[in-house]
């Protein structure tokens, strides 16, 4: 009989100890959408994750919220308003709990490709 032991590093954490493990951004070839992959530490209570895409001047181009996330690993597509290829952008991800506010923040920089021309 195999006995399975839980890894203490994978034990669900209380809200004040939850943090991002990774935040990745992969622009789609159309230059208007982003594939966002997020990973957080296991949690006891469901966090809210706020996402914001900013241009080089800090102007918000897109935003989304995941309210009471159910999984520690997730991916989603963000659509950009007024994207421009070749510029540096930043995705800011904030991990929040009601009553605590922001418990962690992560940023990922990226450059949009030039959209492929339709033939």
pLDDT band at 1 (very low <50, low <70, confident <90, very high): low
The tokens describing 115, both together, are 């959209």
- Which pLDDT belongs to residue 119? 39
41-87 per-position pLDDT tens digit: 999 999 999 999 999 888 898 999 999 999 999 999 999 887 787 78
- Which pLDDT belongs to residue 107? 97
Q: Is the pLDDT of residue 118 over 50?
A: no
Measure the CA–CA gap between 118 and 97, rounded to whole angstroms: 44
CA angle 57, 61, 62 (to 5 degrees): 140
Which domains, ranges and CATH numbers included, belong to the chain?
16-111 (2.60.40.10)
Q: Does residue 9 sit in helix, strand or coil?
A: helix
- Which pLDDT belongs to residue 113? 84
């Amino acid at each position: 009989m195999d006995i399975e032991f839980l890894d203490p590093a994978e034990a669900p954490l209380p809200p004040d100890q939850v943090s991002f493990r990774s935040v990745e951004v992969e622009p789609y070839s159309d230059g208007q959408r982003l594939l966002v992959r997020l990973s957080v530490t296991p949690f006891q209570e469901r966090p809210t994750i706020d996402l914001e895409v900013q241009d080089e001047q800090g102007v918000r181009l897109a935003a989304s919220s995941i309210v009471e996330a159910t999984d520690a690993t997730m991916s989603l597509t963000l659509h950009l308003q007024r994207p421009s290829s070749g510029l540096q952008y930043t995705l800011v991800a904030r991990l929040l709990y009601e009553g605590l506010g922001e418990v962690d923040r992560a940023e990922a920089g990226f450059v949009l490709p030039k959209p492929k021309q339709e033939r």
